[in-house]
């Protein structure tokens, strides 16, 4: 396999994906893959080991993982392109092995400072915080560094983890020579993917929070598998504010600003809605755009054959194992686990 510049991302499978995941990470990846797969190696994977970092239904996890892969196909990811690979994290053992080595070059304090860890652990209480949740950014760094990925489209909530992957790569390169390709900085990533990368779609009920699959009520979240009727209802009841002005200002008007970004993300034109200063019209336009997208996506999802998914994973995982093991072998030699 030739090693061209790699673009890589993943979305956990422990709950349904929502429009925040789509606009923040999957859409930039699909758009990029469709326009640049001839020039880059493009990898989209399901981080199934990351699923355990929060509560998960073990009965349905495998089915959810498979559904995520189908989701990628239904979203228009060009899976049949020869430079495109789709795979599951747990099927390539090098991810876990590299994570352990990186663990030993990561300080406790570094991980303690991760905002997502602080937020999540505050929510679930000390007794239920797993070491896996604490450790999560290290496995994520392994996911990225194993393949020398330079560009990693993720939502804003993952920016700190991406910076951590850079830090640990630089640290190990300084100690052991050129072991890893250092991923591009968050600002370089934004330049590469355009403005909409690094988005934080807000919860529809509480726009001070990001839209999240960990939300227990689900009222502020539009899932990709949701009925169009229910999606419309949620969008129409989105919390706004009393300014009566449609403007893109996340500090003063997070709800309206997020609706504008969602409208743009689904092919609308936020400038048009800003001119109207009409919250009702903005919500109607967003509801129409999202409902149109969901109907199309769900029809495509229903038409995907299981056999096709299995074949795709088999070939993706075979190729990725070779690539990941090359990096792991280099690291094992560098740290003294193998003869140099």
Pick from 33, 79, 169, 201 the residue near ligand TYM by CB under 6 A.
201
Burial class (CB in 10 A: 0-12, 13-18, 19+), 5: middle
Q: Closest CB to ligand TYM among 206 and 308?
A: 206
Q: Is 137 in contact with 113 (CB distance < 8 Å)? A: no
Work out which of 64, 211, 238, 290 binds ligand TYM, going by CB under 6 A.
211
Among 102, 138, 140, 334, binds ligand TYM (CB under 6 A): 140
- Choose the binding region for ligand TYM from 15-23, 35-43, 67-75, 98-106 (rule: CB under 6 A): 15-23
- Of the two residues 215 and 326, which places its CB atom closer to ligand TYM in the complex? 215
Interface mask toward ligand TYM for 217-236; x: CB under 6 A:
--------------------
Residue choice 7, 25, 138, 334 for contact with ligand TYM (CB under 6 A) = 25
Residues of this chain, 36-75, that bind ligand TYM according to CB under 6 A: 47, 50
Residues in the chain: 340
Which residue number is nearest to ligand TYM in terms of Cβ? 24
CB of 136 to ligand TYM, least distance (A): 7
x/- mask, ligand TYM, residues 181-200, rule CB under 6 A, reads ------------------xx
3-state secondary structure the chain: CCCCCEEEEECCCCCCCEHHHHHHHHHHHHHHHHHHCCCCEEEEEECHHHHHHCCCCHHHHHHHHHHHHHHHHHCCCCCCCCCEEEEEHHHCCHHHHHHHHHHCCCCHHHHHCCHHHHHHHHHHCHHHCCHHHHHHHHHHHHHHHCCCEEECCCCHHHHHHHHHHHHHHHHHHHHHCCCCCCCCCHHHHHHHHCCCCCCCCECCCCCCCECCCCCCCCCCCCECCCCHHHHHHHHHCCCCCCCCCCCCCCCCCHHHHHHHHHHHHCCCCHHHHHHHCCHHHHHHHHHHHHHHHHHHHHHHHHCCCHHHHHHHHHHHHHHHHHHHHHHHHHHHHHHCCCCC
Task: Give me the residue label for tokens 């560098």.
Answer: 334
Which lies closer to ligand TYM via its Cβ, residue 144 or residue 168?
A: 144
Should residue 215 be labelled a site residue for ligand TYM when binding is judged by CB under 6 A? no
User: CB–CB of 95/142 below 8 Å?
Assistant: yes
- The strand pair at 41-46 and 84-88 is best described as parallel
Q: Which stretch binds ligand TYM (CB under 6 A): 153-161, 248-256, 290-298, 307-315?
A: 153-161
Beta carbon of residue 269, minimum distance to ligand TYM (angstroms, whole number): 20
| Region of 148-156, 272-280, 295-303, 331-339 interacting with ligand TYM (CB under 6 A) | 148-156
Shortest spacing between CB 145 and ligand TYM, in angstroms: 10
Which listed residue (11, 32, 259, 286) binds ligand TYM by CB under 6 A? 11
Q: Which of 6, 7, 9, 226 binds ligand TYM (CB under 6 A)?
A: 9
Interface residue with ligand TYM, options 40, 43, 120, 143 (CB under 6 A): 143
Q: Write out the residues near ligand TYM by the rule CB under 6 A.
A: 8-12, 20-21, 23-25, 47, 50, 140, 143-144, 152, 154-155, 157-158, 199-201, 210-212
């Amino acid at each position: 396999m030739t090693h061209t510049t790699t673009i890589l991302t993943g979305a956990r499978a422990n709950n349904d994906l929502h429009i925040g995941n789509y606009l923040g990470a999957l859409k930039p990846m699909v758009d990029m893959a469709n326009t640049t797969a001839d020039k880059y190696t493009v990898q989209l994977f399901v981080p199934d080991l990351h699923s355990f970092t929060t509560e998960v239904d073990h009965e349905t996890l495998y089915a959810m993982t498979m559904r995520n892969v189908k989701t990628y196909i239904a979203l228009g990811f060009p899976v049949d392109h020869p430079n495109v690979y789709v795979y599951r994290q747990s099927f390539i053992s090098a991810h876990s092995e590299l994570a352990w080595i990186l663990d030993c070059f990561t300080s406790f304090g570094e991980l303690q400072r991760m905002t997502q860890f602080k937020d999540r652990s505050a929510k679930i209480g000390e007794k239920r915080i797993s070491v896996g949740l604490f450790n999560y950014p290290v496995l994520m760094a392994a996911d990225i560094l194993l393949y020398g990925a330079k560009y990693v489209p993720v939502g804003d909530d993952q920016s700190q983890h991406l910076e951590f992957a850079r830090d640990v790569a630089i640290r190990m390169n300084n100690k052991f020579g050129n072991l890893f390709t250092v991923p591009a900085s968050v600002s370089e990533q934004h330049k590469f993917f355009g403005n909409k990368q690094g988005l934080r779609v807000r919860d529809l009920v509480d726009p001070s929070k990001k839209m999240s699959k960990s939300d227990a009520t689900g009222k502020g979240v539009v899932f990709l598998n949701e009925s169009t009727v229910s999606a419309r209802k949620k969008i129409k009841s989105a919390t706004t504010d009393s300014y009566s002005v449609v403007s893109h200002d996340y500090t003063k008007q997070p709800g309206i600003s997020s609706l504008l970004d969602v409208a743009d993300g689904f092919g609308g034109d936020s400038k048009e809605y800003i001119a109207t200063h009409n919250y009702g019209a903005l919500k109607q336009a967003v509801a129409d755009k999202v409902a149109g997208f969901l109907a199309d996506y769900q029809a495509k999802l229903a038409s995907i054959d299981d056999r096709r998914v299995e074949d795709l994973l088999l070939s993706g995982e075979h190729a990725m194992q070779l690539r990941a093991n090359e990096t792991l072998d280099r690291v094992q030699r560098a740290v003294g686990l193998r003869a140099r």
